[in-house]
Amino acid sequence: MIYREALLSDIPGMSVVRLSVFENRLSNPGLVTELDYTHHLTTLGKGWVAVDEHGTVTGFAIVNLQNHSVWALFVHPHFEGNGIGKTLHHMMLDFYFSKTDKPLYLGTEAGTRAEQFYRMQGWREVGRYPNNEVKFEMTKEQAAGSRQ
């Protein structure tokens, strides 16, 4: 698996991954557009992809530096359980906390494997969003401790 910074040319592959997941599915796939990906990768933050030996995107992560949140972290179901999400997660946290000391936030559907994943990575539940997603927070200190 190759891990690298996401390029605009990766957007179609990232979209395939995003639309393939079984949890945290988009109720309306049209809600996340190519322009949204572009804006997050070029203006709001930065992203990373995992690609296989054929250049196929198998997972991706995008962090929003403007609102201090994880915009996306998804792995294609065919590639789950191989450490891809964990590697992308660490890359994202390393980058984010190299730019700021402010806490990072994310929301995920309650009762999912994603919720368990974030808890295992050291995220702390700090409430619920209006849509009832679990609101998690990660501080720079927690991120450093989660790598121990």
Q: What is the pLDDT of residues 15-24, one digit of tens each?
A: 999 998 887 7
- Listed in sequence order, the residues at least 6 apart from 43 whose beta carbon sits closer than 8 Å to its beta carbon are none
Q: What is the reported pTM? A: 0.93
Judge whether residue 33 has pLDDT over 60. yes
Structure tokens at 97: 């906390």
Backbone angles phi, psi at 142, to 5 degrees: -65, -40
- Give the percent of the chain with pLDDT over 70: 97
Residue 124 CA from chain centroid, whole number = 16
Cα 60 from Cα 79, distance rounded (Å): 12
Can you give the pLDDT at residue 23?
79
Domains for the chain: give ranges and CATH numbers: 2-146 (3.40.630.30)
Helix (H) or strand (E) holding 69: strand 69-75
Can you give the pLDDT at residue 147?
62
Structure tokens at 109: 């559907």
Judge whether residue 148 has pLDDT over 60. no
Judge whether residue 90 has pLDDT over 80. yes
Query: Which of 109, 118, 104 is CA-nearest to residue 69?
Result: 104
Can you give the pLDDT at residue 137?
98
